[in-house]
Amino acid sequence: MKKVRENRNLIFTKAFESAEDNYIPDLDIPSSNLDDIIPKNLLRDNLPIPDVPEVEIVRHYTDLSQINYGVDSGIYPLGSCTMKYNPKINEKIVKLPGFSIIHPLQKKNEGAILLMEELSQLLHKITGMDAFTFSPAAGAHGELTGMFILKKFFEQNGNQKNKIIVPDSAHGTNPASAKMAGFSIIELNSNEHGEIPLEELEFAMQEGDVAGIMLTNPNTLGLFDRNILKITEIVHKYDGLCYYDGANLNPMLGICRPGDMGFDILHLNLHKTFSTPHGGGGPGSGPVGIKEGLIQFLPEPYFIGNEKIDKEKINISHSIGKMKSFWGNFGILVRAYAYIRALGKNGLSRVGKVSVLNANYLRKRLQEFYHLPYQRICQHEFVLSDKNFPNKITAEDIAKRILDYGIYAPTVYFPLIVDGALMIEPTETESKEALDYFAETMIRIYQETQNKPEFVHKAPHNTPVGRLDAVLAARKPVLKE
């Protein structure tokens, strides 16, 4: 404990020192005329910028912020994305000048480096993986990094394995990442329990050209695969590697570790599990953790989290190369560090337990009214469906109507393996009162689908805009000042 406190103090002291000393190097590229840098035909003569008084701008943005909805306004039950409340202390810490105005090229950066070293040690304890790269800028980028590592491993061993098994309950980014790294995909259909059929897995592995499996666990149905140890055993038996999509690590925190389940590579989503606000698409951080035998393939910079490994002996001669400039999205690493340190071991395992408890509480309350395709205890999230709804009510109708009650909608029509899916993740940060309000609203909407279905079909009624053509809005946005 004492050592932990000393180290933490050292990080903050060093961080302050680096901010105070002005160690940013002198400009070493010739400063020149704009015309020399940008070709004349790309420069414009005039730029019509609207002329509006400051106060109008302030009112405009204040208006927008007040019709916006975020996790600071209310519950955000978006499945597969862990939209939990992010403690404000993280934001304070990341704004310390020693973290926010430093540059990776300045001469003194010990505070930042020490923070990343310690973060990798903490993530080692949490996941059981030995070393980490913090380069990836999001979960999907982490998957791509992991797939490159996996590919290089087989190339290095003179092996031509070029296929990856991806279950149909995986996150959609999994097959996309494996494909981008040059693998072809073997899709495995889940069984009636939402789990991987072991015989089919073994059958696929026997072909001999399968490099491994990419497993989202808990999967996109919010279910933990109870055969997880058998799965990794089968894949290893045929010389494959096991990749763990740990984007939604919430329910595992302090309870169990992918590294102990036989996984060789994983990615985490620090912006989900380890608390960074991430609405609107970014920035994120998707560190990749690997077992000792794969260290030589890591991109730089990398950090050894397992203190038993002798750092002097490491060589990364077979690195896959850079995945992002400098340290990745450093601010998110600071937030994750602050979050883990604030909670400690016991706090983290409470996060794990309460995220599961909250989801199961909602599941139990709602399954009397909504169809629950997989009748099992769930992890941090669960999937309902619009099957059996009266009056042709769809998942979209429910999602739109819930906005009228001042709640954000659940994820709809994902995962694809459930028709008309409504995917709900309350997270551990919601109180019982908030969960009850959500459950009672969903039940009231269920009653409305029977009593006044037309009204539900036309929802939302109280929002600034009604039903938008979401596809058209994305493809042909009409932007105005």
Ligand X SMILES: *Cc1c(COP(=O)(O)O)cnc(C)c1O
Neighbouring residues of 220: CB distance < 8 A, sequence distance ≥ 6: 79, 80, 169, 170, 171, 383, 414, 415, 417, 423
User: Closest approach of Cβ 2 to ligand X, in Å?
Assistant: 37
383 vs 393, beta carbon nearer ligand X: 383
169 vs 449, beta carbon nearer ligand X: 169
Residue selected from 144, 247, 412, 423 as contacting ligand X according to rule CB under 6 A: 247
User: Closest approach of Cβ 439 to ligand X, in Å?
Assistant: 23
Q: What residues between 260 and 299 interact with ligand X by CB under 6 A? A: 269, 284, 286
Least Cα distance to 4 among 129, 112, 121 occurs for 121
Residue selected from 135, 169, 216, 411 as contacting ligand X according to rule CB under 6 A: 216
Which pairing describes strands 210-216 and 163-167: parallel, antiparallel, or unpaired?
A: parallel
What's the rounded Cα separation, in Å, for the pair 318 and 279?
36
Taking the alpha carbons at both ends of the chain, their separation in whole angstroms is 55
The binding track of 162-181 with respect to ligand X, each residue x by CB under 6 A or -, is: ---------x-x--------
Name the segment binding ligand X (CB under 6 A); options: 242-250, 307-315, 345-353, 409-417.
Answer: 242-250
Residue selected from 139, 167, 240, 331 as contacting ligand X according to rule CB under 6 A: 139
98 vs 167, beta carbon nearer ligand X: 167
Q: What residues between 73 and 92 interact with ligand X by CB under 6 A? A: 80-81
What's the rounded Cα separation, in Å, for the pair 248 and 273?
6
Residue closest to ligand X (Cβ): 139
What's the rounded Cα separation, in Å, for the pair 42 and 34?
11
User: Closest approach of Cβ 167 to ligand X, in Å?
Assistant: 12
295 vs 336, beta carbon nearer ligand X: 336
247 vs 372, beta carbon nearer ligand X: 247
User: Closest approach of Cβ 202 to ligand X, in Å?
Assistant: 25
Least Cα distance to 194 among 387, 388, 476, 382 occurs for 382
Per rule CB under 6 A, is residue 214 in the interface with ligand X? no
Structure tokens at 456: 């539900």
Residue selected from 245, 381, 386, 396 as contacting ligand X according to rule CB under 6 A: 245
Task: Give the number of other CB atoms < 10 A from CB of residue 292.
Answer: 15
User: Closest approach of Cβ 289 to ligand X, in Å?
Assistant: 15
Name the segment binding ligand X (CB under 6 A); options: 90-98, 136-144, 402-410, 417-425.
Answer: 136-144
Q: What residues between 318 and 357 interact with ligand X by CB under 6 A? A: none
245 vs 264, beta carbon nearer ligand X: 245
User: Closest approach of Cβ 173 to ligand X, in Å?
Assistant: 5
Residue corresponding to tokens 């199961």: 360
Task: Give the number of other CB atoms < 10 A from CB of residue 50.
Answer: 7
User: Closest approach of Cβ 469 to ligand X, in Å?
Assistant: 24
Name the segment binding ligand X (CB under 6 A); options: 134-142, 207-215, 326-334, 470-478.
Answer: 134-142
Structure tokens at 387: 């099957």
Least Cα distance to 291 among 90, 130, 96 occurs for 130
80 vs 109, beta carbon nearer ligand X: 80
Residue selected from 75, 78, 131, 138 as contacting ligand X according to rule CB under 6 A: 138
Yes or no: say if 305 and 121 are a contact pair by the CB < 8 Å rule. Answer: yes
Yes or no: say if 18 and 108 are a contact pair by the CB < 8 Å rule. Answer: yes
- In the complex, the residues that contact ligand X under the rule CB under 6 A are 80-81, 138-140, 171, 173, 216, 245, 247-248, 269, 284, 286
